[in-house]
A and B are shown apart, each in its own frame.
Chain A
Amino acid sequence: MTDATLENARYSFVRKETLPQEAPPLSVAGPLAWIRANLFSSPLSSILTLLGLYLVIDTVPEMIRFYFVDAVWTGTGRDACLADKVGRPVGACWAYVADRVQYFTYGSYSVSERWRVNIVFAMFALGVVWLLWNRAPLKKVGVFFFFAILPASAFILLLGGDRAEGLLRFLILLTFALAVVYLVLSFVPSLVKFWIGEGQLAVEEAMPPWQRFYRPKRLILIAMVVFGVLAVLAEKVGLPRVDTGLWGGVMVTLLISAVGIVFSLPLGVLLALGRRSRLPAIQLLSVIFIEFVRGVPLITVLFMANTMLPLFVPQEWSPDRLLRPLIGVAVFAAAYMAEVVRGGLQAIPKGQYEGAMSLGLGYWQMMRLIILPQALRIVIPGIVNTFIGLFKDTTLVAIVGIFDFLRTIEATLVDPTWATPTTRATGYAFAAIFYFLCCWGMSRYSVAVEKRLAAGQKR
C-alpha cells in the first residue's frame, strides 16, 4: 500500500544538497545566553553576582591605584615616600624594596663575597631544571648532582674558611680515589682475559661486584669537574669564612627548603620502608617516630632543636645556630614525606613484589629496582605538595631567630630609614608575591605531572 502511494506521489521539488546549518538561537548560545545561565540563572544567583561584582569593583581599582598608579618607584630614603614631602597621595613604596632587595636576597652576607652565593643560586637553578624538566638528558646524573654535588659545593662556597677547605680537600681525594678504583677495575676484566684466555671467560657474565663501580663513570667525571673548579676558586680567589650569623634573606629560605628536600626524601623513603617492614622492632620505631613528629607542631620541633639539641651532644660539638633549625626542618619534613611515600608503596600491586621475589631479587634489590621507581613515580604530586608545605613552613625559623626572607622584611620595617605609612603594605606585598609565585609555580608543576601520569592510565 505504502509503496504504491509513494510511487504514485508526484514530487515537484527535491533538494539535492544539505542546507548550511543555522546558528543556534540567541537564547541558548552566545554571550547573552551565557550571561543568563552563568550569572543570572535565579534571583539568588543574581544577588550573588551583583555582590561579587561590587566586591571586585570596590577593591581592584583601589589596589591598582595603591600598588601601581600612586606607587613610588625610585628614591633613596623615606622622604621619597611621604605624602607631604612629595605633594601627592602616595601608594606603595617600591623604592624601599628596590633599595633593600640586596638585603632581602643575601641578608648580611659580606658584600664582597656575594658572588659565591650567586654561584650556588645558579647551581641550584641548574639542579632544579635538570630534575624537573621532563626531557632533560641524564636524569640519574642530575639526581646525583642535586643530592650530592650541590649540597657539598653549597657548604664549601657559602661557609668558606678552614672547615670548608678541609671538606673540599677530602672530597677531591675521595673523587680521585674513586677515579683510580674505577680505572683499575675497568682494566681487570681485560687482564683476566689476558691471563685465563678467551675461552674460559665468564667474568663479564657473572657480573662481579666491582662492575658496579664502573657504572658511575659520568658521576665521577662530573664530581671531578665541579670539585676541580671549586678548588681553583678556593686557591686563586680564596674563600674567607662567612659566619652563619650573617646569612639571611632568600638565600636562607632556599637553603632551608633545599636541605629539607635533600634530606627528607631519602629519610622519608627509609621511614616508609621501615613502617611497612615485617620486622616488628623496625616497624614500631618507624611508627613511633612518624606519628610523634606528625602529632606536634613544627614550632615545638624547632624549639626542641634550638634548646635541647645542644644539651644532647658534648659541649664542644654544640651545633651551629643555623644548623639546629635545619635539622629540625629536615626531621619534620621526613615524617611527612614518609607518609606520602607509604601511600605510593601501598598502591603497588602485590604481584610486583611477588614477581621481584620470584626473580630471586633480595629485599634491597627488589625495592631499588622494582618497587621504589614505580612507587615514587606515583607520588610525585604528593612529594611536590609536601614540598610546598615545607617551603611555606620555612618562615617559622624566624621565630627561633634565623633571618629568613620574611624575617629580613620584618627587620627592615622597624628601620627608621624607610619608616613611612605605606612601607609595611609594600613589604608584605613583596613577600606575598615571592611566596605566591614559588608555591603556585610548584603546584602548577604538580598538576602537570599528575596529568602526565594519568595519561598512561587513560584507556
Chain B
Amino acid sequence: MASIPSEAREPGRASLLYDPKIRGYFYQIALLAIVGFLIWSAASNAIENLRAQKIASGFGFWHNPAGFDVNQKLIPFSASSGSTYGQAFLVGLLNTLLVAGLGIVIATFLGFLVGVARLSHNWVVAKLATIYVEVIRNLPLLLQLFFWYNAVLKPLPDARNSIHLPGSIYLNNRGVILPSPQFAPAFEFVVIAFFIAVVAAIAFFIWARGQQAKTGKQYHNGWVALALIVGVPLIVFLLVGRPLTFDYPQQGRFNLTGGMQIFPEFVALLIGLSTYTAAFIAEVVRAGILAVSKGQTEAANALGLRSGPTLKLVVIPQAMRVIIPPLTSQYLNLTKNSSLAVAIGYPDLVQVFTGTVLNQTGQAVEVVAITMAVYLTISLVTSFFMNIYNKRMALVER
C-alpha cells in the first residue's frame, strides 16, 4: 500500500473550468443576473415612463368611484350610487365565474353525450357526432362567438314582436325574458331542508356501504338519495305553504314588463363556450372509454354482471382515470376562454376590469397584474383539487 504514490490515490483534478458543479453555478448565476437585469431595467423604465405620462401608480384607484354602468351584475353596482373600481372588479369576477360555472356544467353534459354518441353502434348518431366534433374543433372560438351573437341572437325580432315560447319565455334581440322567481321569507326552510336531505343521503350512503361490506346486501343508494334530496324539500315546501311565486313577463304594447332578463351577450357566450368545449370533452371521453380494454367488459360478463353494472362498476371507473386529467384542463380552458367575452361585450372580468377600468385609470401594470393573478389563482386552485381527486382515482399498484 505504501508503495503507491499519493498522486495515484487521489483522482487527477481537472481544471476548475471543466468541473460540472462549478459550471452549473456559473450558468445559474449568469441566468439570474440576466433575468434580474431585465426585470430591473423594465421596472426602472416603467417608473420613468409612468412619471413622464403622469400616470399614478399603486392600488389607490381601488377605492375611487367608477363612472360607468354595467348591464349584467350579480351585486348592486351603478355609477350614480358611487360604486368603486373595486366593486367593478367584483362584478366582473362574479360574471366570469357565473358563465364559467354554468358553461362547465353544460359542456360536461353535452361532451359526455357526444363522446358516447361517437362510439355508438348507430351509424347516423356516430356520424352526426363526428361531424359536430370535427366542425366545432376546427373553427376559432371567436368566430363561433361572433356567429352566435351577431348572426343568431342579434337578428331576433325587437321587444314588440318577441317570440313567445311555452312557459312564458320570450325571445327577442334584448335576450331571453324568463319568469323570475319571487322567494317568500319562509323559503329558507326549504333551503335548510335541502341541506339536511343532502347530509342524510350521504349518511345513508356510508351506512349502506358498511352494510354491504358486512353482509353483502346491496341497497338502492341512488333511489334513496333521490327520494331524500327531492322529496324532503318538496314536503317542507308544501308544508310551509308554497313560499315561491313567479313574476311572469307581460307583453305590453311596445315592451315586455316584469320577468327576468338574460342578456344576449351572456347567452351567446354561454352557448359558444359550452358547445366549443363540449367538442373537446367529447374527444376526451371517447379516448377514455376506448382506453378500457375489451377484455375488461368480457371478464365482467363472464362473472355474470349485466350490462348496467358492467358499465357502472367496471368500465366507467377505469375510463374516469384516463378522462379526469384532460377533463380538468378542458375546464380550465373554458374558464380562460370566457375572457373572449370582451369581443362581444359581455361584462366579464377582462371586459370590465382590463377594458373599462384600464382605459379610465391608465394603470396598465396594476390592472393587468390583478387580472392575471385572478386567472392564475383559479388555475392553480382547480389543478390542486383535481390533483387530489386524481390521486384518489389513480391506479394503485403493488
**Residue from A55, A295, A399, A435 with most neighbouring chain B CB atoms (10 Å):** A295
B368 touches A307 (CB 8 A): yes
A395 touches B140 (CB 8 A): yes
Tell me which residues from 31 to 53 in chain B have a Cβ below 8 Å from any Cβ of chain A.
Answer: 31-32, 35, 41-42, 45-46, 48-50, 52
In the assembled complex, the CB of A104 is this many whole angstroms from the nearest CB of chain B, namely: 14
A residues less than 8 Å from B49 (CB atoms):
310-311, 315
In the complex, A135→B24 CA distance in Å? 41
A435 touches B122 (CB 8 A): no
Which residue of A has the minimal Cβ distance to B134?
A440
In the assembled complex, the CB of A299 is this many whole angstroms from the nearest CB of chain B, namely: 5
A167 at interface, CB cutoff 8 A: no
> Which one, B79-87, B212-220, B338-346, is touching chain A?
B338-346
B143 touches A300 (CB 8 A): no
In the complex, A49→B122 CA distance in Å? 7
B residues less than 8 Å from A314 (CB atoms):
45, 48
> Which one, A34-42, A71-79, A93-101, A125-133, is touching chain B?
A34-42
Which residue of A has the minimal Cβ distance to B141?
A392
| Cβ-defined partner of A313 (8 Å) among B45, B122, B124, B125 | B45
A residues less than 8 Å from B124 (CB atoms):
39, 48-49, 52-53, 56
A193 at interface, CB cutoff 8 A: no
In the complex, A443→B138 CA distance in Å? 9
Tell me which residues from 294 to 317 in chain A have a Cβ below 8 Å from any Cβ of chain B.
Answer: 294-300, 303-304, 307-308, 310-315
| Cβ-defined partner of B139 (8 Å) among A45, A300, A311, A392 | A392
A279 touches B139 (CB 8 A): no
A431 at interface, CB cutoff 8 A: yes
A210 at interface, CB cutoff 8 A: no
B251 at interface, CB cutoff 8 A: no
B372 touches A304 (CB 8 A): yes
In the assembled complex, the CB of A237 is this many whole angstroms from the nearest CB of chain B, namely: 36
| Cβ-defined partner of A406 (8 Å) among B120, B140, B350 | B140
A68 at interface, CB cutoff 8 A: no
B residues less than 8 Å from A296 (CB atoms):
336, 371-372, 375-376, 379
| Cβ-defined partner of A41 (8 Å) among B52, B122, B138, B139 | B122
> Which one, A156-164, A181-189, A195-203, A280-288, is touching chain B?
A280-288
B343 touches A279 (CB 8 A): no
> Which one, B144-152, B163-171, B389-397, is touching chain A?
B144-152
In the assembled complex, the CB of A304 is this many whole angstroms from the nearest CB of chain B, namely: 5
| Cβ-defined partner of B375 (8 Å) among A300, A315, A435 | A300
In the complex, A393→B140 CA distance in Å? 7
In the complex, A202→B134 CA distance in Å? 61
A410 at interface, CB cutoff 8 A: yes
B350 touches A300 (CB 8 A): yes
A425 at interface, CB cutoff 8 A: yes
Tell me which residues from 393 to 415 in chain A have a Cβ below 8 Å from any Cβ of chain B.
Answer: 393, 395-396, 398-399, 406, 410, 413
A311 touches B368 (CB 8 A): no
B303 at interface, CB cutoff 8 A: no
Per-residue CB proximity of A47-73 to B under 8 Å, as 1/0? 011001101100000000000000000
A residues less than 8 Å from B246 (CB atoms):
none
A399 touches B342 (CB 8 A): yes
Tell me which residues from 321 to 370 in chain B have a Cβ below 8 Å from any Cβ of chain A.
Answer: 336-337, 339-340, 342-343, 350, 354, 358, 364-365, 368
Instruction: Given A296-B376, A299-B340, A399-B343, decide whether A281 and B121 contact each other with a Cβ distance below 8 A.
Output: no
A292 at interface, CB cutoff 8 A: yes
In the complex, A48→B375 CA distance in Å? 41
In the complex, A144→B31 CA distance in Å? 28
A424 at interface, CB cutoff 8 A: yes
| Cβ-defined partner of A428 (8 Å) among B35, B137, B143, B358 | B143
Q: At the interface, is chain B mostly helix, strand, loop or mixed?
A: helix
| Cβ-defined partner of A281 (8 Å) among B31, B137, B365 | B31
In the complex, A282→B26 CA distance in Å? 11
| Cβ-defined partner of B135 (8 Å) among A38, A303, A436 | A436
B292 at interface, CB cutoff 8 A: no
A396 touches B375 (CB 8 A): no
In the assembled complex, the CB of A62 is this many whole angstroms from the nearest CB of chain B, namely: 15
A279 touches B27 (CB 8 A): yes
In the assembled complex, the CB of B122 is this many whole angstroms from the nearest CB of chain A, namely: 5
Instruction: Given A55-B128, A296-B336, A299-B342, decide whether A45 and B122 contact each other with a Cβ distance below 8 A.
Output: yes
A residues less than 8 Å from B365 (CB atoms):
308, 311
A residues less than 8 Å from B206 (CB atoms):
none
Which residue of B has the minimal Cβ distance to A314?
B45
B28 touches A282 (CB 8 A): yes
B138 touches A315 (CB 8 A): no
B320 at interface, CB cutoff 8 A: no
A39 touches B140 (CB 8 A): no
In the assembled complex, the CB of A245 is this many whole angstroms from the nearest CB of chain B, namely: 21
In the assembled complex, the CB of B234 is this many whole angstroms from the nearest CB of chain A, namely: 30
Per-residue CB proximity of B115-140 to A under 8 Å, as 1/0? 00000111111001000001101111
B364 touches A311 (CB 8 A): yes
Tell me which residues from 257 to 302 in chain B have a Cβ below 8 Å from any Cβ of chain A.
Answer: none
B380 at interface, CB cutoff 8 A: yes
In the complex, A388→B134 CA distance in Å? 13
B224 at interface, CB cutoff 8 A: no
| Cβ-defined partner of A431 (8 Å) among B123, B137, B143, B358 | B143
Per-residue CB proximity of B66-83 to A under 8 Å, as 1/0? 000000000000000000
B142 at interface, CB cutoff 8 A: yes
B376 touches A297 (CB 8 A): no
A432 at interface, CB cutoff 8 A: yes
A281 touches B342 (CB 8 A): no
In the assembled complex, the CB of A397 is this many whole angstroms from the nearest CB of chain B, namely: 10
In the complex, A413→B154 CA distance in Å? 14
B139 touches A410 (CB 8 A): no
A39 touches B364 (CB 8 A): no
B358 touches A307 (CB 8 A): yes
In the assembled complex, the CB of A325 is this many whole angstroms from the nearest CB of chain B, namely: 14
Question: Which chain B residues have a beta carbon within 8 Å of chain A's beta carbons?
Answer: 24, 27-29, 31-32, 35, 41-42, 45-46, 48-50, 52, 120-125, 128, 134-135, 137-143, 146-147, 150-151, 336-337, 339-340, 342-343, 350, 354, 358, 364-365, 368, 371-372, 375-376, 379-380
Q: A45-B125, A281-B28, A396-B340 given. 13 additional CB < 8 A pairs?
A: A37-B121, A48-B120, A295-B380, A297-B375, A298-B336, A300-B354, A312-B46, A406-B146, A413-B150, A424-B151, A431-B143, A436-B139, A439-B139
Question: Can you give 17 contacting A-B residue pairs, CB < 8 Å?
Answer: A37-B121, A39-B122, A52-B125, A53-B124, A278-B24, A281-B28, A285-B32, A297-B375, A299-B354, A300-B339, A300-B350, A300-B372, A303-B358, A307-B364, A388-B138, A392-B141, A428-B151
